[in-house]
Amino acid sequence: MLKPGARIGILGGGQLGRMLALDAARLGFDCVIFTPEDDSPAGRVAAACEIAPYEDLEAVARFAASVDVVTYEFENVPVETAQAAGRHAPLRPGVKALEVCQDRVTEKSFVNEAGIETTPWQAVSSAKDAIAAAQALGVPAILKTRRLGYDGKGQQVVRRAGDAASAFEALGSVPCILEAFAPFTREVSVVAARSVDGAVAAFPLAENHHEGGILRVSTAPAPGADGLAGEALRIASAILSGLEYVGVLAVELFVLEDGRLWVNEIAPRVHNTGHWTMDACTVSQFEQHIRAIAGWPLGDPAPHSAARMDNLIGADVERWQALASEPGVCLHLYGKGEAREGRKMGHVNRLSPLS
C-alpha cells in the first residue's frame, strides 16, 4: 500500500491523465507524466513531466525508476514501452490488458473464450477475405482496423458484400475485423475496478448516445437498467479477472431486445462514459483507479445523484462562459489549445436527484 507522498507515474499526457493526476494530488500523491507532447493537458497539472518518445526506452526506464507505481491513461501505449516501465516499477494494469485490447480480433477472441457474447465477427486480412466475411455475416456490417481505431476512426460501413473489398482498401489494406451489426435497443457501459487483492467494485450502468462514432451523452444511472446490473457486473468481473487487472476498466455493451448483453469493446483505462462519476459519486472513477493501483481499499461506487454528461467536442467549448453561468452545471475543461472538429475539449455534468 503506497503512502501519501508516493510518486505515481502515468504513461500518456491527455485529459484522462490530467484527471487522474488531479485526483491523485487530492489524495496526497505526486504524479509524473511520461508523454511525447511538449505541452500536454496532464503535464500542466502534474508534479513533474518526462517529455520523450514512447520508443525511447532509456527515458522510459529513467521515468519508471523515479516513481513507485506506473499506470497508463490510454490503451495504445506501445507494449514494449509498458514492459520497459514494468521492469523498474510495478505496472498496474499489467501488459496483458494492452496485448489483448490493442487488437480487436485478440480482444473479441478473449471475450468469447471467457464465455461472453459479442456480435458475430470474422478476421479480415485481404480484400478477398473482406468479401467472404461480408457474405458469411451478412450486411450491413462494419469493417474496422484491428489496431489504433477510436472515436469512429478506422471504420467503414459495408452495405453490400461487393463493397467490402473497396472498404478494406479505403482502410489502407491493413489487417481488419468485420463485425455484423448488433440488433441492439440501446448502448450501455459498466465502469468497474479491481484491487490488488482481487476485490471488484462497479459503478451503476450508464446509457450512452454516440454521433459519428463519438460519445455525445451519457446518462447515469441508466434508466430502467436495474435488471441488467447483475449480468453487467458478471461480465466485467470475468474480464477483470481474466486480464489479472488492477485498476479501472470500462466495458461497452449492446442491450438486445431480449435483454441479453453483448460486449462491444473493452477499454483498459478510465473512460469517457465514467466522467459522470466526478460529480455524482463520492469516489470518482479517477480516484478509484488511483486507489486500486496504490493498493488502497476501493471506494464505495454508489452515486449520491443522477447525472447527464455531455461531451464538449470541437467548437462546443466556445460556450464555456454560458455553461459556467448555468446553475447546476459542473464544467470540466481539458486545457487543450485548438478546438478541432471531433476533438474532445471538455465535458459538463448536470446532476439531479436519484429516482
Query: Could you tell me the CATH number of the domain that includes residue 27?
Result: 3.40.50.20
The pLDDT of 222-229, averaged and rounded, is 96
Is 207 in the same domain as 328? yes
The pLDDT of 20-27, averaged and rounded, is 98
In-domain check, residue 97: no
Residue 95 backbone dihedrals phi, psi, to 5 degrees: -70, -30
Is 224 in the same domain as 312? yes
In-domain check, residue 108: no
Task: Tell me the C-alpha distance between 143 and 152, whole Å.
Answer: 11
Q: Which of 180, 206, 223 is the last residue of a domain?
A: 180
Give the pLDDT of residue 151.
60
User: In CATH, what number is assigned to the domain containing residue 203?
Assistant: 3.30.470.20
Is 162 in the same domain as 46? no
Task: Tell me the C-alpha distance between 107 and 103, whole Å.
Answer: 6
- Into how many domains does the chain fold? 3
In-domain check, residue 176: yes
Task: Tell me the C-alpha distance between 189 and 255, whole Å.
Answer: 10
In the numeric block, the cell 485526483 is attached to 23
Q: How confident is the model at residue 214 (pLDDT cuts 50, 70, 90)?
A: very high
In-domain check, residue 101: no
Q: Which of 42, 75, 91 is the last residue of a domain?
A: 91
Is 343 in the same domain as 242? yes
In-domain check, residue 196: yes
3 state DSSP class of 144: strand
Is 255 in the same domain as 309? yes
Is 224 in the same domain as 189? yes
Res 150 pLDDT > 70? no
Q: Which of 180, 198, 217 is the last residue of a domain?
A: 180
b/e map of 23-32 (b: 16 or more CB within 10 Å)? bbbeeebbbb
Residue type, 32: V
The pLDDT of 149-163, averaged and rounded, is 82
3 state DSSP class of 159: coil
Question: Per-residue pLDDT tens for 253-301?
Answer: 999 999 999 999 999 999 999 999 999 999 999 999 999 999 999 999 9
Is 246 in the same domain as 295? yes
In-domain check, residue 260: yes
Is 85 in the same domain as 164? no
Range of the domain at 200: 184-352
Can the peptide bond before residue 140 be classed as cis, meaning omega within 30 degrees of 0? yes
Res 40 pLDDT > 80? yes
Res 233 pLDDT > 90? yes
In-domain check, residue 137: yes
Is 40 in the same domain as 148? no
Is 189 in the same domain as 168? no
Is 242 in the same domain as 285? yes
User: In CATH, what number is assigned to the domain containing residue 156?
Assistant: 3.30.1490.20
| Mean of per-residue pLDDT scores for the chain | 96
Is 136 in the same domain as 231? no
In-domain check, residue 40: yes
